[in-house]
Amino acid sequence: MLKLASNSLMPKLDPTVMKDWQIAEAAEKYMKPVSELTDELGILPDEVIPMGRQLAKIDYNKVLERIGDCPAAKYIDVAAITPTPLGEGKTTTSVGLIDGLGKLGKKVTGALRQPSSGPTFNIKGSAAGGGLSQCIPLAPFSIRFTGDIDSISNAHNLCMVALTARMQHEHNYDDERLAKSHLKRLDIDPERIHMNWVIDFCAQSLRHITIGKGGKMDGFETESGFAITVSSELMAILSVARDLKDLRERISKIVVAQSRSGKDITTADLEVDGAMTAWMLDTINPSLVQTIEGNPVFIHAGPFANIAIGQSSIIADRLATKLGDYHVTESGFGADIGFEKFWNLKCRMSGIKPDAVVIVATVRALKMHGGGPTVKPGKPLDEAYTQENLELVENGCGNLIAHIETVKKSGVTPVVCVNGFYTDTQAEIELVKKIAIENGALAAYSQHWLKGGDGAIELAEAVVKACEKPHDFKFLYDLEDPLKTKIEKIATQVYGASGVDFSIEAQKRLAELEQDDDLKKFGVCMVKTHLSLSHDPDMKNRPKSFRLPIRDFLVYKGAGFIVPIAGDIKLMPGTASNPAFRHIDVDVNSGKVTGLF
């Protein structure tokens, strides 16, 4: 670990007066060289792929082939309650837990998702953590990093180039001319295109566009649009692929469109799957960063949990669980979506079972769920959130209890982490811990944002205790269950819905999907708001007597799951009126990025 505590710099790292980027910039002067970090992990020099002076990728295949079948680390997932729009510090808690376990003398690793430029330059900011509980180097981590998201964008958009060019040529050429071009007619139905273009920003004006306007040499005119890159099936594939061969096979199975006769048109049909894999080749290896306290964190994949699988990669977990005693990963948003997908998709595909699950809660979010005033990004918090109010906290704990019950259904012990804010009172903290314990969880208060690993020791001790408890991990549904049954189990047993309503279009798609033998054993990756247990972001706490509306389905044959779309959620977020990019700049004298958070 970095011994910053004995350094004269350490007292100056005060998150109450310093911004995250200022703390990161100060801490980066004392970063471990990548070679020291990899030496401590037992990674050999020829297994390290340098990516500049501060970053590296790790040749996971070489490492796993060399170390073989060694004991696996205790495996911990970090989830949360339903957050406010401000977020409740789940990544910050993940980093704090990593450092807290390090303070206990544990050999610990982490695996987190790569920040998307969408949130980084919008409202939420980077996914590097915060305060004294963050990953460094901050600017490279938050902007460009090692190029994985750019490669995914390019591979995805290359597929769209192949599709739209093919549509143009098939429209303009007769069969004889197609044959001379060594093409067979795919007869693509322009009304059944299943992919859009992608860009890694929140660009609401690109959700619905028309392409191909002009003459016949300018493409085939059709309705199209953009999604955010992290929602791409390629990002999901990177999350769940076990190795390069698996990645290549999955890319070839991506369904891009359908023919007029209803036949799937895949990337292999377009003969673009190999070139897409070439773009994705360097993404297969996880990247390595470190916490402020010098603990290693693998960064690999970056999908959102409300519109995608929401997990860092199986490859990173396979690697990291062989290199340490404790391994901490994170699932996006609340336990209803992030942990549910970790539980029923990622763990099923990886074969790695968790030993404990942390549920991050804040007094602020519990007050909101208990009936507190609306919380809006960029607006000052109402005094209800800064003054003691035990009634609001207790009322809002219904949401916490729902998430505890969800984790317990998996057979794993939940640990409720009260992520400390300076406005929390002791009575509020103790009330949350009491309710958590009464409902079958362990509980801890953590001040990692303020104190780093020292502030997370109580949390780390609770996690170690949870890992030692016996557990009987089991999935919520069987892959052999009918698709409708899988959806109903998630809706009723995790979200608390009384049932599921399918739109007319969704009913038709459901009937088609249940007749497709290729999909019989696919898991379910629900698209749903992260701001409520229900489909409606305005329904707070623990909604009752609601029915989950499914309006449509996506099919990710490459990733291996079916994606029901619940409610009015979009695959392309929008940029707000006061986005983070207004405050990000570069110091022209030092060349350092300023203003990141």
Instruction: Tell me phi and psi for residue 53, to 5 degrees.
Output: -80, -25
Catalytic residue (choose from 141, 279, 449, 553): 449
Alpha helices per DSSP H over 474-597: 483-490, 504-514
How buried is 136 (Cβ within 10 angstroms: 0-12 exposed, 13-18 middle, 19+ buried)?
Answer: buried
For 4-147+283-468, CATH number out of 3.65.10.10, 3.40.50.300, 1.10.274.100, 3.40.50.10860 equals: 3.40.50.300
Helix H or strand E segment including 188:
strand 188-193
Answer with the residue of higher pLDDT: 117 or 491. 491
Q: State pLDDT tens for residues 288-337.
A: 999 999 999 999 998 888 888 999 999 999 999 999 999 999 999 999 99
Instruction: Tell me phi and psi for residue 461, to 5 degrees.
Output: -65, -40
Give the contacts of 225 (CB within 8 A, at least 6 positions apart).
196, 197, 206, 207, 208, 209, 572
CB 386 within 8 A of CB 423: yes
Q: Report pLDDT for 5.
A: 37
Catalytic residue (choose from 305, 308, 491, 580): 305
- Examine the pLDDT at 21 and tell me if it is beyond 70: yes
CB atoms within 10 A of CB 202: 22
Per-residue pLDDT band for 492 (boundaries 50, 70, 90) equals very high
Cα–Cα dist 507/524, whole Å: 16
Q: Name which of 9-23, 191-205, 272-286, 448-462 the model is least confident about.
A: 9-23
Cα–Cα dist 2/170, whole Å: 61
Across 4-15, average pLDDT: 56
Is 343 a catalytic site residue?
no
String of DSSP letters for 437-480: HHTT-EEEEE-HHHHGGGGGHHHHHHHHHHHHS------SS-TT
Q: Report pLDDT for 9.
A: 42
Per-residue pLDDT band for 485 (boundaries 50, 70, 90) equals very high
Is 124 a catalytic site residue?
yes
Is 318 a catalytic site residue?
no
Distances in Å between the Cα of 210 and the Cα atoms of 225, 226, 237, 257, 258 are 8, 11, 28, 17, 19
Q: Report pLDDT for 273.
A: 98
Strands (E), 313-390: 326-330, 356-361
Q: Which of 538, 519, 533 is nearest to 490 (CA)?
A: 533
Is residue 226 helix, strand or coil?
strand
Catalytic residue (choose from 74, 103, 106, 113): 113
- Examine the pLDDT at 8 and tell me if it is beyond 80: no
Q: State pLDDT tens for residues 396-416.
A: 999 999 999 999 999 999 999
Across 461-471, average pLDDT: 96
Residue 47 has which token pair? 């297994």
Give the contacts of 232 (CB within 8 A, at least 6 positions apart).
152, 153, 156, 198
Residue 164 CA to its chain's centroid (Å): 30
Is 421 a catalytic site residue?
yes
Q: Report pLDDT for 571.
A: 82
Total length of the chain: 597
Q: For domain 485-566, which architecture applies? A: Roll (3.10)
- Examine the pLDDT at 86 and tell me if it is beyond 90: no
Q: Do domains 4-147+283-468 and 485-566 have the same CATH topology?
A: no
- Examine the pLDDT at 501 and tell me if it is beyond 50: yes
Residues above pLDDT 70, as percent of the chain: 98
Catalytic residue (choose from 82, 84, 91, 92): 92
Is residue 266 helix, strand or coil?
strand
Helix H or strand E segment including 103:
helix 90-103
Is 90 a catalytic site residue?
yes
Give the contacts of 392 (CB within 8 A, at least 6 positions apart).
366, 367, 370, 371, 372, 384
Count the alpha carbons within 13 Å of 550 in the hemisphere toward its beta carbon. 27
Q: What share of the chain is helix, strand, coil (3-state, %, to 5)?
A: 40, 20, 40
Across 566-595, average pLDDT: 88
Average per-residue pLDDT for the chain = 93
Q: Which of 376, 418, 368 is nearest to 398 (CA)?
A: 368
First vs last Cα of the chain: how many Å apart? 24
- Examine the pLDDT at 11 and tell me if it is beyond 60: no
Catalytic residue (choose from 304, 343, 421, 546): 421
- Examine the pLDDT at 7 and tell me if it is beyond 60: no
Q: Report pLDDT for 377.
A: 80
Q: Report pLDDT for 597.
A: 77
Residue 514 has which token pair? 């249940």
Per-residue pLDDT band for 582 (boundaries 50, 70, 90) equals confident
Give the contacts of 561 (CB within 8 A, at least 6 positions apart).
236, 309, 345, 522, 523, 524, 525
Q: Report pLDDT for 283.
A: 97
CB atoms within 10 A of CB 488: 17
Is 364 a catalytic site residue?
no
Q: Report pLDDT for 3.
A: 41
Longest dimension (CA), the chain: 80
Q: Which long-range contacts (CB under 8 A, 24 or more apart) does 433-439 make?
A: 435/394, 435/397, 435/400, 435/401, 436/361, 436/400, 436/404, 439/400, 439/401, 439/404, 439/405
Per-residue pLDDT band for 213 (boundaries 50, 70, 90) equals very high
Cα–Cα dist 299/111, whole Å: 6
Residue 407 has which token pair? 């984790």
- Model confidence, pTM: 0.94
Q: Report pLDDT for 535.
A: 96
Q: Report pLDDT for 299.
A: 96
Catalytic residue (choose from 74, 90, 341, 509): 90
Domain positions in the chain are 4-147+283-468, 485-566
Q: Report pLDDT for 178.
A: 83
CB atoms within 10 A of CB 374: 11
- Examine the pLDDT at 171 and tell me if it is beyond 80: yes
Catalytic residue (choose from 124, 322, 433, 542): 124
Cα–Cα dist 513/555, whole Å: 9
Cα–Cα dist 291/294, whole Å: 5
- Examine the pLDDT at 22 and tell me if it is beyond 60: yes
